[in-house]
Amino acid sequence: MSATTTEPTDAEAQAFLDSLIGPLGEPVQVQVELGAVRRMALCLGDLDPIHFDEAAAKARGYREYDFHEPMVVGDLITVRTAMVEARIKHGKSGRLGQVVSERRFTNQRGELCAVLRTILFRR
């Protein structure tokens, strides 16, 4: 005997997606490390001395990388992750769930340094 399964309605699927919105886990803290800054600069082909020489960065008024607020070697960065959007999409191949996750990076002074948004699709 085979069980019959039915697809949820759009309203039921949307209700499920809505239930996903909110924080994901506990905030995580990481310290900005000079070696990581140097590797990132090399990957980007950015050979500006401000990424390799702390004195050069300070002399030019920089605190290393700048997204919203710069992250500096030694900063304690808190990362908070949350689902911020969820909705049903209809396309040629049928219905998809679309969720948007957001990672917010803040420094030890509570200043927003960066935001990373990721869009995921699920059938």
Each residue of 92-109: b (16+ CB within 10 Å) or e? eeeeebebebeebbbbee
Cβ(67)–Cβ(74) below 8 Å: no
Q: What's the whole-number mean pLDDT along residues 90-101?
A: 86
pTM to 2 decimal places: 0.62
- Name the residue with higher pLDDT: 33 or 22: 22
Beta strand 94-106 pairing with 22-23: unpaired
Q: Is 51 exposed, middle or buried (0-12, 13-18, 19+ CB in 10 A)?
A: buried
95: pLDDT strictly greater than 80: yes
- pLDDT tens, position by position, 31-80: 877 787 788 778 777 788 877 777 877 777 654 744 678 888 889 999 99
Q: What's the whole-number mean pLDDT along residues 96-104?
A: 88
Cβ(116)–Cβ(85) below 8 Å: no
Residue 47, classed as helix, strand or coil, is coil
For residue 1, the model assigns a pLDDT of 56
